[in-house]
Amino acid sequence: MKKILVSTVIILSLVAFTNVASAQCKNFAKKICKLELLPYVHDGIYNATVLSEGETAELYKTFYAGQEYRVTVCGDENLPPVQFQVLDAERNVLYDNKKHNFAKSWDFKLQSSKQLIISIQVQTSDELNDQILSGCVSVLVGFMNVENSFDQNK
Amino acid sequence: MINMKFKNKILSALAIVAISAFTISFIGCGGDKSNDENLNEDSLNTADEFNKAKQVIYGIPSPIETAMLMKRAGAKYNQDFLNPISNMGNYTTTKSMALNLGVYSADLSFASMFDQSQASIKYLSATKKLADDLGILNAIDKSIITRMENNINNRDSVMEIISETFMNSNSFLKENDRGEIAAIILTGGWMEGLYIGTQIVKNTASNKELMERIADQRLSLNTLVSLLNEYKNDANVQTILPEMEKLKKIFDKIQTSSSKMEVVEKDGKSIITSTSEVKFTPEIFNELEKTISEIRSNIIK
């Protein structure tokens, strides 16, 4: 009985903590991650969640021809690096930030409109630690204002 | 013995506190639960080095992105295509308020993108009113109208204000277990963008690029239908989904083919190259335009 109660307290407290943390994700996305988008204009869509080491999330989005995009993925400073890959519909990897020192952003444009998948994974920590690290991860999409754009025909 | 009993009592009390905390916090994050359920189905087909996706997020073009797309494609501003502010009094149900918050957000973005100062302020006031009616005004900066007025001649600042307002609204809804309302707002905004785009094509000289962007909306519609399906038990969503499915059947008539995608670097920029062929006939456009007008007419009435 005692073991069950102890386990219940620990497990439920952890879950409750995680959910409370998700409420702070908005501020993280807005005050920290959004700055990484500059000078691109944020599309106004909020995508953020609490992830633990090794966990993943995926964003499915259509990106349009002629528009210049910046995808920014950032994780809470307590978390190990966050890997993100940009995949096509057949899950071929078009970009992997792990090959670019876990860069937070990727700027690109497309010749024709496509649905892409932004696949995010929190890396596992190298340090020996009993506690599984978790924190807010945000993925934001920005686009370049028309006047600031470079020549699309180049 | 007494000590043991005391310990058990403490543990029981802690368990109750933990269960309560869990319950309260979980109620506030119900949107994630549906995502997780969805994930289990979607992740069955994925086989790469990544683990199964914990959460699937559907990215729908925001009103501000759609307005930018249209302007880039050469669209011209026409106030006649926007939903008149005078219709606002008609919106008394949650569904009509949410859909038209999306519609007015699209109209606001469209007006701002074309430097229509007075229209922008009017549509911002309309979105603020509907946000208030939906109970999400607290998510929006109280001084938003003043900020807009003070920055009305700086389009970058105006777009930043619109983007921030939209983000605050949809994050507030998602974090308060009202993800279905956020999805309905996005549906209204997407429909209005599509309506304005098709009206511009219908009423002005041929614009190939704008036609292409309209045809591209078939991709976003697939994502939108997936998003709405996450909330298919919601009564309001149940009435919207068939309309979107109807639209999807017409979009599916557009024949497409495309080559494999590759990334090339040019002048320090990454370009995803791939050629696409899209057969968007005038007959399909006319059918699409007619259906979009009907659906939009029902939304704004």
In a domain, B81, yes or no: yes
Do both B198 and B263 map to the same domain?
Answer: yes
Do both B20 and B93 map to the same domain?
Answer: no
Chain B hits for A94, CB-CB cut-off 8 Å, are: 261, 263, 272
Do both B24 and B67 map to the same domain?
Answer: no
Alpha helices, H only, chain A = 2-23, 25-28
Is ipTM strictly over 0.85?
Answer: no
| Mutation choice for A interface testing from B41, B51, B57, B220 by most A CBs within 10 A | B57
Pick from A131, A114, A136, A128: which is nearest to A55 by CA?
A136
Do both B147 and B214 map to the same domain?
Answer: yes
Do both B296 and B198 map to the same domain?
Answer: yes
A108 Cβ contact partners less than 8 Å away, ≥ 6 residues apart? A68, A69, A71, A86, A95, B263, B269, B270, B271, B272
pLDDT at A131: 78
Contact B62 A45 (CB under 8 A): yes
Q: Which amino acid is at A118?
A: I
Q: Report d(CA A139, CA B53) in Å as an integer.
A: 15
Do both B153 and B203 map to the same domain?
Answer: yes
For A12, which of B19, B219, B273 is closest by C-beta distance? Answer: B19
Q: Report d(CA B200, CA B182) in Å as an integer.
A: 27
Chain A hits for B32, CB-CB cut-off 8 Å, are: 22, 49
Q: Report d(CA B3, CA A149) in Å as an integer.
A: 73
Do both B15 and B95 map to the same domain?
Answer: no
Do both B91 and B239 map to the same domain?
Answer: yes
Q: Report d(CA A88, CA B59) in Å as an integer.
A: 15
The better pLDDT of the pair A7, A33 is held by A33
Do both B292 and B215 map to the same domain?
Answer: yes
In a domain, B52, yes or no: no
Chain A hits for B1, CB-CB cut-off 8 Å, are: none
pLDDT at A23: 60
In a domain, B210, yes or no: yes
Q: Report d(CA B183, CA B227) in Å as an integer.
A: 7
Domain count across chain B: 2
Do both B19 and B87 map to the same domain?
Answer: no
Assess B6–A contact: CB distance below 8 Å, yes or no.
Answer: no
pLDDT at A114: 94
Calculate what percentage of chain B has a pLDDT beyond 70: 82
Please compute the mean of the pLDDT values over residues A38-56 and round it to a whole number: 91
Domains of chain A: 2-148 (2.60.120.380)
pLDDT tops 50 at residue B51: no
In a domain, B248, yes or no: yes
Domain enclosing residue B26, as ranges: 2-31
Q: Report d(CA B67, CA B116) in Å as an integer.
A: 13
- Of the CA atoms within 13 Å of residue B54, those in its CB half-sphere come to 15
The better pLDDT of the pair B163, A10 is held by B163
Do both B143 and B282 map to the same domain?
Answer: yes
- The count of CB pairs under 8 A between chains A and B is 219
The model carries a pTM of 0.80
| Mutation choice for B interface testing from A113, A120, A153 by most B CBs within 10 A | A113
Do both B143 and B12 map to the same domain?
Answer: no
Q: What digits encode the pLDDT tens for the residues A109-135? A: 999 999 999 999 999 877 666 778 889
